[in-house]
Amino acid sequence: MKRRNKIVLAAALLILGSAVSIGCKSEETPYTQNIVVDGQALPFHMSSFQFNNEESADIELKLHQIFGTSLGKQLRQEDYVIVNHDGDNLTEDFRGESMPSSEDIAVIAQKIKENGYLVVNPGRYRVTTIEKEIKALFNHDRRIHPKEKLKEVLEANRESFEEKDYESINQYLIRNRIIVFSTPEGS
């Protein structure tokens, strides 16, 4: 009888432990995870939601400006920072004691791509989620180009929005080359 009680107790604890661990899992989906948006809001194929698909050469040019290399000084001066998905500025983490060589810059660019970091203008980027941006679009808190397509976009995606199928809305925007800006109409 003692052995049977131990087995029942062990099974009960296992079930309870599983229920607690399932209950503790966050409701985080790819749509509620932080993304970094640089300038435009949607579609998110150029954001940190997916692998950073910016060309390495473009990243390297921005890095030359960040680190003040001789090539960077020849380019149009623009400020950039390296950020992660939470918008944390990681620029100093990549800065060494001396000015990086072109080879060092290439290695840094590869690390940025591998980690999904972005090189962004510090005054333009912001951290958001796909869910927030699509809700803002449907609340008319975003503007689109072409402007006259807003009603069509909202009507075509109403069902997906009600079903919280944010990815199909994002894909619709990509397919139809709709640019959504982070500021509402009239701003």
Distances (CA, A) of 55 to 51, 52, 66: 12, 9, 17
Query: Does residue 161 contact residue 120 with C-beta atoms inside 8 Å?
Result: no
Domain final position from 80, 107, 124: 124
pLDDT over 70 at 61, yes or no: yes
- Mention every residue, 6+ apart, whose C-beta is less than 8 A from residue 116: 48, 51, 52, 84, 85
The secondary element (H helix, E strand) that includes residue 70 is: helix 70-74
| Structural domain includes residue 30 | no
pLDDT at residue number 66: 87
173 lies in the same domain as 147:
yes
pLDDT over 80 at 46, yes or no: no
| pTM, entire model | 0.68
Domain count, the chain: 2
Question: Cα(176)–Cα(180) distance, rounded to whole angstroms?
Answer: 12
Per-residue pLDDT tens over the stretch 91-148? 999 988 888 888 999 999 999 988 888 898 898 888 988 889 899 999 999 988 888 9
42 lies in the same domain as 134:
yes
71 lies in the same domain as 93:
yes
Domain final position from 108, 124, 140: 124
Record the tokens describing residue 58, joined without a space: 């473009």
- Mention every residue, 6+ apart, whose C-beta is less than 8 A from residue 94: 82, 108, 111
